[in-house]
Structure 1
Amino acid sequence: MLLGKRIAVVLPAYNAAATLQRTYSEIPLDIVDDIILIDDASHDETVALAETLGIYTHRHPRNRGYGGNQKTCYRIALERGADIVVMLHPDYQYAPRLVTAMASMIVSGEYDAVLASRILGKGALSGGMPLYKYAANRGLTFVQNWLMGQKLSEYHSGYRAWSRGVLEVVPLQACSDDFVFDNQMLAQAIHAGFRIGEISCPTRYFHDASSIDLGRSCVYGLGVLQTALAYRLHRLGVRNAPLFSPVSASQTVPPSGQAGARP
């Protein structure tokens, strides 16, 4: 807990047994009140290991995709009373110790959301990010900043912190269940006027760290550009985008009871 704010870390997991313990061991338990792992129908021992570590674990009976996993992450975190939710991949690609710094930026009252950027500083290439991924990241970010009127260093980090206020407002149910979910959710937060901060974060690319292949990367890139263009046209009043339409309570978090929880 920080200044009376309850901190939750959510771990969207798929076949993360090889890296989960290393990730968990570096989460700052002195300030984190709740750790929640959502398992997306893994084929390995992710659930058993999470339960051994004492992590609150919720398993999807079928794979719902990266975005679908996060929708459950945020719903459960809010149900369990989180004031700040930090989404951390359990593949040990990002530095778990930065949870304190990210949550503190929101607790300060200066930001509503914080992105851990691999591009600020020199963490990306030195951490093993493939050159083509780095180039694509920089190119897509340039176009997104231009279309959306922002100055972010990257839109593609999988390490993010959100205030409860953001999660109760943005219409997550309108977002994709695939990898473009992250970009769509961020675009929704920007459209709603929330303040987005960034912090430099080292990254690690290694055998057990999750990564999508070239084909899916291309599909993701097209989805990112489509999201940014939809944002621009919506803001200009040229074309209404459901992604940014006024929300109802049913659009913010997915309904409960879609998967079996494991305490």
Structure 2
Amino acid sequence: MRYNWINAEEVSFNSFLLLDRWIIAMICRDYREWAEFEKNLGAALANNPAVAWYFAHRSPESKPYVEQIIASAAKGLSADEVRQAEIFVLHAMETSVVYAFPEVMNRNCNYIYDWDKQHLLHLADFTDALVLDVGSGTGRLAFAAAEQARQVYASEPTDRLREYMRDKIRRENIRNVKVLDGTADSLPYEDNTFDIVMSGHVVGDNYDLELAELTRVVKNGGVIIDCIGDDDLKRKPDGELLGRGFEAFYHVSKSGGDIYTYRKKITK
């Protein structure tokens, strides 16, 4: 599925040098059954030694695979053939490559630019609350909550996105948002810390692990919120979340998408 968040023809293959270990590992782990992708990735890496070196050293667990696909790559490709291989990989990984360009992400990702913060703020009373935003991205949820909350912790595993949020905090003199590393299944916070734990486009890879971790760090009587952005996708309610006691709230986005947000009060 193409989202058109980047124009791969205009993006350097060196963009991968800006991405984190977990993204490189994912690229080298999760697409091994896609023969066309593997062929193009091998060709692109074979002709971009700096990026190949970065893949192998930024993600040591991926080094044997990187060496394997480079060794199997077609030889003697023209400059145009190499560029077409790069573009194929950039297109295929556009939802990760865009993390290297937070301003482009804000401009081109409709789930960010079409979103209204009121879809979050009506889900809980953020007044004077201690809030955790898991997988903050460019800070869509975190900065909205910060308008009412006492303190917001923005947990984000992507370095470029953490830098973007920290730059915004300095530029706009925002005093109640703190940016830290962390993933939905491994949060660097103590048990029973937050009044509100929220995320969007994060929960779903492993419901048991992710929801257990979000529940661990929220206080007794606190709230967990899942608040995706607004896009044009047609969705049905998330049966996993409903089955785990979440309430669902529905609205139609500006672009005609079916958007569901979720809330659950936690009792321990």
Give yes or no for TM over 0.5.
no
Structure number with bigger Rg: 2
**Structure that is richer in helix per residue:** 2
